[in-house]
Structures are given as C-alpha cells and as structure tokens.
A and B are shown apart, each in its own frame.
Chain A
Amino acid sequence: ETGVTQTPRHLVMGMTNKKSLKCEQHLGHNAMYWYKQSAKKPLELMFVYNFKEQTENNSVPSRFSPECPNSSHLFLHLHTLQPEDSALYLCASSQDRRRWDGYTFGSGTRLTVV
C-alpha cells in the first residue's frame, strides 16, 4: 500500500465544473508536490509546499488552485478547465527539500475534461 493516497483515481468533468483532487500522506513528511503528466511530455512540476507554505508555482494557470491545510493533506481545486488539462495528476511528498530526499508518489488521479 502506497504511503501517499490520492482520490479520486479517475475523474471526468465538464469545462464548467468545479472539482477537487485530494492527496493524503501519513509518512510524517513536510514537503508535498503536485505534478502533471501528459502524454508524451515530461512530468511537469506544478506546485511545491514546504511546511504548509507554498514555495513554488511553476506558472500554473489560475484555474488550478492548490491548498495545503496541514502537512498531511494537499488539495488541487479545479475550475473552468480546458480539454488540454486532461492528464494524470500525481501527488508526491518528501521528508524535506534537501537534495538527497527522494519523493514518495501517489497513484495519481486520471483527469479527463470534456
């Protein structure tokens, strides 16, 4: 069983819908990340949170809104998405942001925007 749990596993939403992706870890990690994985493209880092504070936003459109209420939970709120936003959204966590820390990934949410 993975240490990082993402829900839902699959999500289909219309362009006018509002939905949220949830990520939860009970590994005692302090840093959490959202990645986007589109077909035939490298994984794109979207957001980084360290001790609940957002430390990085890689020019992500405002229709994606992250929230980190505590070190164990990370959300990605979605609204008025476009079909090109369809992708696998992966959450990850790490103990810290030190260079030797690897990440633990969740299984992802497969998002389809129709």
Chain B
Amino acid sequence: AQKVTQAQTEISVVEKEDVTLDCVYETRDTTYYLFWYKQPPSGELVFLIRRNSFDEQNEISGRYSWNFQKSTSSFNFTITASQVVDSAVYFCAPKTGTASKLTFGTGTRLQVTL
C-alpha cells in the first residue's frame, strides 16, 4: 500500500514570494512514480509533473521546481515568485505496482494575494 502526507493544509503568501509545498510518501516498492497535480477553483486536476523513483535529479520548469529526495521519501514542490493565478489546491500522488492507481492525500491549499 502507498500513502502520502501533505502536512501543510493551507498556505497563504503574498504575490512574488517563493513558496514550498511539502510531500512525504510511503511505499514498499522500489520502482514507483510520483505526480503533482494542481486543482484550480474550476475543479479539474491539472497534471504538473511525473518523476520516477530512479531519477533523483531536481527539475525546473519555469517558476516551478521539484526536489526529490529518495532517502527521506520526499518530493517537494517550490513555486518561485508566486502569482495570484497559482492559487489552487496542490496534490502530490504516488503510483506504484503493476496495476497501479494514483493515491491522493488531502492536498495543500495555496492562496496567493496581492
């Protein structure tokens, strides 16, 4: 079984601040994938990134960056110079096994204000 913990329930920042969303996961599998999704007020979950367990290189995509630390089972997400449009609920989700499914935690609600 897999489990994910996003300890930050809500974060509020002022525009242009950097913010890091934490994600800690549990799995007994050695091969697995980790995903981040964004859920804006409109409701749909939007795919942000997929990372496999063998690739520990950090990834940067524009203002977004991800820090994968296999030793601590963490896959944290940083938004640099946050913008109001970043306001959403963000979900980290592990996926393991051959007939796998995405397991979601409760997510982190990010509120970016002017």
Determine if B99 and A97 form an interchain contact, defined as CB atoms under 8 angstroms apart: yes
13 contacts between A and B (CB under 8 A): A42-B106, A45-B102, A55-B99, A90-B45, A97-B100, A99-B33, A99-B95, A99-B96, A99-B100, A100-B52, A102-B47, A105-B44, A108-B43
A73-114 contacts to B, CB under 8 A, are 88, 90, 92, 97-100, 102-108, 110
Contact of A43 with B by CB under 8 A: yes
Contacts of A90 on B, CB cut-off 8 Å? 43-45
Q: Which residue numbers of A lie inside 8 Å of B, CB to CB?
A: 2, 4, 33, 40-43, 45, 48, 55-56, 88, 90, 92, 97-100, 102-108, 110
Determine if A107 and B99 form an interchain contact, defined as CB atoms under 8 angstroms apart: no
Contacts of B37 on A, CB cut-off 8 Å? 105
Q: Which 7 A-B pairs have the closest CB atoms?
A: A105-B45, A43-B104, A108-B43, A107-B44, A99-B100, A107-B43, A105-B44
Known: A42-B107, A102-B102; 13 extra A-B contacts, CB below 8 A, are A42-B106, A43-B104, A45-B101, A88-B43, A90-B43, A97-B99, A99-B31, A99-B32, A99-B97, A100-B33, A102-B35, A105-B46, A107-B42
